[in-house]
Structure formats: C-alpha cells, structure tokens
Amino acid sequence: MRDVIVEIACKKPQPPSETLTDPIHQRLASAVIYEVNIRQITPEGTFKAFTEQHIDRLSRLGVDVLWFMPTYPISVKNRKGTLGSYYSVADYKGVNPEFGSLDDLKELVRKAHDKGMLVIFDWVANHSGWDNAWIKDHPEWYTQNENGEIIAPVPDWSDVADLNYSNPELRKAMIDALEYWIKEVGIDGYRCDAAAMAPTDFWKKALLSLDSIRPLIKLAEAWEPELMANGFDAAYGWEFHHLLNDIAKGSKKFSEIESYLAKSDTLYAPDDMLMNFITNHDENSWAGTEYEKMGKHVAGFAVITYLMPGIPMLYTGQEAGLNKRLRFFEKDTVTWNDTTLYDFYRKLNALKHYNPALRAGTNAGNLVLKADSVTQTATLFRSSGENKVLGIFNFSGRAISLKVPVAEARGTYKDIFSGEQKRIRKNREIQLEPWEYWVLEGD
C-alpha cells in the first residue's frame, strides 16, 4: 500500500519581538555559523595561521558567525591523548599557548569584525580540567563523592572535574569569566557546551548579566526549550540531525519529518531558533563523517539544513568535502585541496542571507513540506510575502517523474546553482535524476 503524502504547514510568523530589534539578533536570523577547529584547520594550528589563511576565504564563502572551539589552556593532569581535549579547561581567562597569544587572538577577532563577521567562543560551564586553579583554591566548587574526592561528571569524561553549582561563589566566578572575554576581546557571544548540565537558573542570571553589557549571541548545545525561555537565543537541532541520519539508514521514513516539525512548533516559542547541521566536531570525531552516516544523501541533506526553519551551520572542512574522522586529542590537519563544494555552499549562504523566506525566529517564512516515503521524494516550499524558495528532492537511486504537489509554489523561478529559469505549472511533470535536487528562488 502506498504511503500517503505528508503535508506540513507550520504556524505563520509572529510580529517581530523585542529580541529581534537589535542588529546582532537581526543578523542571526539570516546567518550562517561556521565552527572553527583551530587545532586542525591549518598545519600550524594557530590563531595567526587561521587569520592569514582563512578569514578572507570564509568571508567570501558567506560565513556570518565564527564559532571557535575552546581556546583556553588545556589541563595536563588526566589528559587524554597527546594534546588533550579543548573542553578540559585549565584557566577560564587564559589562552592556549599552542594556539598563540592573547594579542594574536585579539587580532583575529578584529580582522573578523573588519570582514563583517561575528565571533563567538565556546564556553565550558559544566566542568573544568584537573589542573584548573579552582580545584586547589576552591575544592568546594566541585562535586565530591562520599569520601570527599572530586569526581568527573560521567565516568567516560575522566579528563574533567564536575563543577558544583550549589556554591554561589562558583556562580559568581563563572559569570566574571564569561564577562571577561566580552570586555577584553570584544567577542559577540557564546556557544555553551553541555548547557543542560548546568542549572537553568544559573544561565538565566549569567545571560542577563552578559546582555547588560550589550546584546550578544547565546547558543546552547542542548535542545531543551526551557533554556531558550531563560535567556538563550538558539539551541541545537539535535533531533532533526538524528532524524536525517535515521532516514539515510532506512530506519525512519521521510514522512516522520511531519512529527518533528509539529513537535518543534509546539515546544519552541516563535523567536526561538534551532541550529541545523549535517556534522559538527562531536559527530565527526565520535559518530563518523556525514559521508559515513548519510552516504549519497549528503548534498541533499545539506541543502535541507538551509531550507528548514533555523540557522545552518558548517563545520571545519565541510566545504572541502572532509571525509575523515578528525582525531580529537591529536593533531590531524584538514586537507584543503578539494574546492568543488565551495560554490555549492557559497550559493546556499547567499540564499540564506538575502531571501527573507529563510529567516529564522519571529520573521520566519511560511513552510509547506510534502514528503513521500515510497518514492523518497520531498518538496519544501518557503514563502514570505513575494519572496519564495522551493526545494525539490529525489532521495532515491532511480530517476523519477513527479508533479510539484504544492499549489502555492506555482510560478517562475531561477535555479540558484545553474542560473536556469524554471517554471512550475499545475499538472506539469518534472524529471529528476537519481539523488538530484533543485533549489529554486522565486523570480
């Protein structure tokens, strides 16, 4: 029996809220985030090398927000591997000397700002490294077992020590350190690691304190709606990412995107934004590359992360077809020889920037999605006033003929990749080759 085609029409945009009246959040609503793995992005693995080799390139690619994995000194005690984890912080106000100096970091931020890009740092609030001075000076700031021994948050995270947020002095010290980088280096916000593992009431106070300095980007590595209700602007689209992986494996159907969108529409407020991605540092190193997990779905799924409501994110090397798991605790430089995807992402970035139908948050365009699990096709239509974006996807290994099943999508478009004019008419069948997709912008 043939699956019924699924149609989802998300709730209409709400009037702009106060959270979008400042320029930084207006930018975020149309932004593309790029995650920088400073250790692996250049052979040198330094701030200077990144500044010289990649800032201009990423600006031309159309990146808006540079998110840097932690740049703080890494603890030696209980270190994993040769170089250790970025997330084992030895000093919340220090700079990892392997990457360069504080002046080097300031220059990087200055040049990124000169190119019109925003900069956010990774913040590790749940745990510190075992060499952090807080362990010696303030052991009461850490979680201890019945024998008075400081413990890790979970057994596998043996290189870090769990912070105890029942201590008010810890909270003050953490907020002070968060404010330091805003004032000293002029960064534009934070991506907060394992945000749900720190108390929500801590985040509420901390983020209010940061916003009292100036409006900032606050991205939670979490999905919990209550975090965004208490100060975060955006969270991870983890559920959507795992759904795409499961669709690629064949364990879930395209039609299950329906329940995902319905759930998201219910859980999150109109001004909440989810970050969409096909890979990131955790997924790449521990779960596998997007090519391992998604196979021939990769390009089409990458497009969908741009067309779905939210903020698209690229990871270091994604635009160079990175097809290896980067070692997490060792030097493992990305190779930049393959430039075939640069134009692909540059055009998607431009579409995200300039077409209001793809905005995130309160001004998000209407969305109509029709997915057929039997033919493995999907049509995704976004609109905002006269602005239209239409994505048509064949996620099968066979050529297909289909009629666009969205009445509102009829009209004349330009293919953003080929520049070809295409007209979508009632009852007109279009032909798609195996794995082919069209991304059309209303003309």
The candidate with the shortest Cα–Cα distance to 263, out of 3, 10, 14, is 10
CATH, domain 377-442, list 3.90.870.30, 3.40.50.300, 1.10.10.10, 2.60.40.1180:
2.60.40.1180
Sequence ranges of the domains in the chain? 17-362, 377-442
Length of the chain: 443
The dihedral over CA atoms of 291, 261, 435, 346, expressed in degrees to the nearest 10, equals -70
Question: What DSSP element (H or E) covers 26?
Answer: helix 23-29
Q: pTM for the full model?
A: 0.95
Spatial separation of the C-alpha atoms in residues 184 and 108, rounded to whole Å: 13
- Structural tokens at position 184: 């000293």
Written out in words, the top-level CATH class of the domain with range 17-362 is: alpha beta
**Close Cβ partners of 205 (under 8 Å, ≥ 6 residues apart):** 171, 175
- Give the pLDDT score at 21: 62
Spatial separation of the C-alpha atoms in residues 267 and 287, rounded to whole Å: 27
The candidate with the shortest Cα–Cα distance to 58, out of 50, 48, 49, is 50
Per-residue pLDDT of the chain (443 residues; tens, 9 = 90+): 233 344 444 443 333 334 456 889 999 999 999 999 999 999 999 999 999 999 999 999 999 999 999 999 999 999 999 999 999 999 999 999 999 999 999 999 999 999 999 999 999 999 999 999 999 999 999 999 999 999 999 999 999 999 999 999 999 999 999 999 999 999 999 999 999 999 999 999 999 999 999 999 999 999 999 999 999 999 999 999 999 999 999 999 888 998 899 999 999 999 999 999 999 999 999 999 999 999 999 999 999 999 999 999 999 999 999 999 999 999 999 999 999 999 999 999 999 999 999 999 988 999 999 998 889 999 999 999 999 999 999 999 999 999 999 999 999 999 999 999 999 998 889 999 999 999 999 97
Q: What are phi and psi of 204, to 5 degrees?
A: -60, -45
- Give the pLDDT score at 4: 35
Spatial separation of the C-alpha atoms in residues 223 and 194, rounded to whole Å: 10
The candidate with the shortest Cα–Cα distance to 193, out of 159, 232, 248, is 232
Spatial separation of the C-alpha atoms in residues 388 and 358, rounded to whole Å: 9
- Give the pLDDT score at 373: 87
**Close Cβ partners of 141 (under 8 Å, ≥ 6 residues apart):** 134, 163, 164, 167, 169, 170, 173
